[in-house]
Structure 1
């Protein structure tokens, strides 16, 4: 993991900022850090909850190399007297790019063609099958997050002119700057031929799409989720997938890895990816660089560019 996140030159930059202690075994963190005076903690998605290995300890900065901090900080949020930053901005383009790729695969029936060519005797019939062009679809986006904004930029760059967003935090001025329209959730669902989820998981968004909401989507609509599986009720998702009425692109799943007996496996209208949206070489290098730069700002007494305050933390997945 260290080599994925930090290049040799980035590690050297960290060493130039102070004494660098590498503790890579989550099981031994508490013992290894006993008596170590920490000003800065660098954390990742593999870091266990702070309370289990550093009870009562408050570094001056927690520099998180990943996105969500909830598994580490929990419901207590940002510790008092501690600055917190995260590198999720580095992952936005990679996740948005995968969401776009899934839209194109499903609209152009590439998954269907692939199966047919791999199994010419028992594969699906493709004679006369025509795909649809993304630029001419009505595209709905749930969540104007960093990833949502990156996705919007990409689809608009491909010529999509009809893009609407459902996000209670998106103002009219901001929507106009993005070149999108605003809509409430139910109206967005009824309108969208392509629906892409880029919202965080919060108390308000868990299960926001259930059977009643999915039923509002037009027949044949494409639904892509590269955000969090919990945004969609699992039973409702499976029921719609089994019906064949909608097409799904899923990079996030309610159970990961996907069980072998999952009804989602093998469905011709479901395109699956094993939660790899941000897993690009470029994204990992950006995560490392953001972390190095944030620590350098902290050491210099400058303002952090990726700080997470309590209000922002409440809206994060």
Structure 2
């Protein structure tokens, strides 16, 4: 077999989730077009001849592409990521050497937005509290679960006009919500074009029945929702986080949730897996999922399809459609 020029550093399980047989065959064909073979490995250290590698497909847990690693891959020209953010492993050294980077985050926006919508409806309608009351406390309807609300005409704060934030905006607008968009990079005209009212963070927190987080992990967004911000939320309001735990002060949120004043639906946590002794597991006003908002069958296969498209384009000398620049990396979540 010829030396692998295209290497997929993706576990066998994730490979099956991301790539249909047809799309993996496209990777093999692209490798042949690049003048060599295709190889899937669990770890980059398993590549027999890294000096031959021209393109790498990565997944979660990829090691940083520092100078020492890149020195062992002098022919590397493309890093194609099956996920969204490439911040954990893409270094400035990649850009300095002219190596292109691409990712499949677009495919994750819709499924995460759908989970955010499901969370929103669940909190509005008090589904976590009613489920807990029926399962754990017996009886029938318990008025102490709190007032139920519909999404029609509900003011919902959308924190961040990311790809997922925009997909979520389109979903809640279709159901008649009144979105309040908080994003310093979006002006009032663009917010209006997205069907939302531009708002400041404090104003949105005071007004919204649901606060949905879709902001990137930047220094300016670290713990942007702390004790002061949570206290601005009205009694009975709900917090939805399918973005990053980075955005929320976990201690402050736990304190508010313990009080029962607000509710939350969370897919992301500071500690993952979430500790078995976490109080979040016991609270009736909290809905939890294990960081799987993007884990739909269709979404995963679309991620693989995007990567196969990009690798195919690279092998044919065509422009990439989902490339990441040094400037984009600086503001990427």
1:37 to 30, 52, 66: 52
Q: Which residue of 1 aligns with 2:8?
A: none
**1:105-159 deviations in Å (ceiling 9; x for gaps):** 1111222222233345378825896521012211100000000000000011111
| 2:130 matched residue in structure 1 | 113
1-side partners of 2:171 and 2:199: how far apart? 20
CA distance in 1, matches of 2:63, 2:236: 42
Whole-angstrom CA distance in 1 between matches of 2:233 and 2:300: 35
Q: Is the counterpart of residue 263 in structure 1 residue 279 in structure 2?
A: yes
Distance 1:152 1:130 in 2: 24
Aligned length: 314
Question: Which residue is 1:293 aligned to?
Answer: 309
Which consecutive residues of structure 1, in runs of 5 or more, have no partner in the other structure?
none
Aligned in 2, Cα 1:76/1:142: closer, same or farther, shift over 3 Å?
farther
Q: Give the aligned partner of residue 182 of structure 2.
A: 166
Deviation at 1:79, TM superposition (A): 4.7
Report matched runs for 1:10-49 at 5 Å. Answer: 10-18=23-31, 19-26=36-43, 29-49=44-64
1:307: which partner in 2? 323
Kindly provide the CA deviation profile for residues 184-220 of structure 1, in whole angstroms up to 9, marking residues without a partner as x.
2122212211100001111111111111111111111
State how far apart, in whole Å, the 1-side matches of 2:302 and 2:226 are: 35
63-72 vs 90-99, which moves further: 63-72
The match for 2:249 among 226, 233, 248 is: 233
The correspondence for 1:211, drawn from 195, 210, 227, is: 227
- Within the candidate set 236, 259, 274, 2:290 is matched to 274
- Computed over aligned residues only, the root mean square deviation of the Cα atoms, in angstroms, reads 2.2
| TM value normalised by structure 2 | 0.88
1:53, 1:76 → 2: CA distance? 10
The change in CA–CA distance for 1:95 and 1:202 in structure 2 (over 3 A counts) is same
CA distance in 1, matches of 2:134, 2:210: 26
TM-score between both structures, scaled by the size of structure 1: 0.92
Is the contact between residue 77 and residue 313 of structure 1 (CA under 8 Å) also seen in structure 2? Answer: no
Distance in 1 between residues matched to 2:57 and 2:270, nearest whole Å: 28
- Equivalent residue of 1:97, what SS? helix
Please state whether the residue corresponding to 2:169 is helix, strand or coil. helix
Question: Counterparts of 1:137 and 1:301 in 2: how far apart (Å)?
Answer: 49
1:137 pairs, out of 154, 167, 172, with 154
In structure 2, the gaps of 5 or more residues are: 1-13
The change in CA–CA distance for 1:129 and 1:208 in structure 2 (over 3 A counts) is closer
Name the CA distance, whole Å, in 1 between partners of 2:67 and 2:39. 18
